[in-house]
Homo-oligomer: A and B are copies of this chain.
Amino acid sequence: MREEDAKLQLLNYFKARVELSEEEEQHIRDAYTLHHFKKKAFVFEQGKPTSLEGFIVSGTFRVYYNDSKASEHVLYFAFPNWWIGNMITFHSDQTSSLSAQALEEGYALLINKVDSEELFRKVPKLERVFRIMLQKSFSVLQKRFLLTVSSNAEERYKELLERSPGIEQLVPQHQIASYLGILPESFSRMKKQLLKGN
């Protein structure tokens, strides 16, 4: 993966949403750096003080949270052209409250909090892009929350399959269980149940 190709992909993402001058494009290029992640590598890790946001160029990632009993809760899976970040989940002690891990080998363009603020200053148009992106993300998270509190694991599973067909080929089963908010054992039983009932 050439860094230039990755940045073109990012610029295309922005240019689909807002017009950019040559100079603005250059500021964006300068602000992001390409990183490679091997399978199971971390983009950021819960408890560690690195504040960043990333644009996924290729690969699949999972963003998750370790609760007080150290069990993992998958917040979301992320794919190319999505954003992952922990800038908005930092504790006051400046540690990340989430982890992001590569599920397969992949690339992401990263930016830290300071450079990000600087970039917003240089290219204010990006405020708009991120406002709209955040509205979308908020809406998706809100749906996820409401589905979680208003339905059982089986309904959530069916919804996931509709929304992300092929997810089961990409992601191990115990992580799907975690995304659904149940244990691998419960998920295994639920699938068996579904096969019978169908």
> Which residues of chain A have a CB within 8 Å of any CB of chain B?
65, 67-69, 71, 73, 75, 87-89, 120, 124, 127-128, 130-131, 134-139, 141-146, 148-151, 181
Contacts and interface: CB of A to CB of B under 8 A. Distances in A.
28 contacts: A65-B150, A67-B150, A67-B151, A69-B150, A75-B142, A75-B145, A88-B136, A88-B142, A89-B142, A89-B143, A124-B124, A124-B128, A127-B127, A127-B131, A128-B131, A130-B131, A131-B131, A131-B134, A134-B134, A134-B135, A134-B138, A138-B138, A138-B141, A141-B142, A145-B145, A145-B148, A148-B148, A149-B181
Contacts of A65: 146, 150
Number of copies: 2
The 7 closest A-B pairs by CB, nearest first: A67-B150, A134-B134, A127-B127, A131-B131, A88-B139, A127-B128, A88-B135
A73 B134 contact: no
A118 to B, nearest CB: 14
Nearest to A67: B150
A107 B75 CA distance: 36
A150 B71 contact: yes
Contact of A148 (B138, B139, B149): B149
A68 B130 CA distance: 33
Nearest to A141: B141
**Residue from A75, A134, A148 having most chain B Cβ neighbours under 10 A:** A134
A69 B152 CA distance: 13
A89 B145 CA distance: 13
